[in-house]
Amino acid sequence: MAEREERGGVTQAAEPLPIWFFVGLILLCYGVIIVASGLLSAPRPTVLAETRPALWWGGLTAVAGAIFLLIGLRARRR
């Protein structure tokens, strides 16, 4: 059931979560999974394997997800 809020004696339904919240949640989950796979798997013998691209891209994806998650939460409070 939807939450209800009292405003001036009138009961209104709570504002639903914006799409940015869910986008951020998905990106954050993917970022954590990519970082974990980068830490647990052995680097493949490629030209730039020592740079560990899974760690960089997973970290970037997780940070972007956290930013979108915060944007979604702040948009709901307004």
Q: Looking at residue 24, what is its pLDDT?
A: 96
**Is 90 exceeded by the pLDDT of residue 69?**
yes
**pLDDT tens per residue, range 13-60:** 777 889 999 999 999 999 999 999 999 988 788 888 888 999 999 999
Cβ neighbours of residue 26 closer than 8 Å, sequence gap 6 or more: 65
Both tokens of residue 19? Answer: 């799409």
* Token digits of residue 18: 């914006």
User: What's the CA gap between 19 and 52, in Å, rounded?
Assistant: 32
Query: Is the distance from CB of 70 to CB of 18 less than 8 angstroms?
Result: no
As a whole number of angstroms, the distance between CA 41 and CA 61 comes to 18
Is the pTM above the cut of 0.85? Answer: no
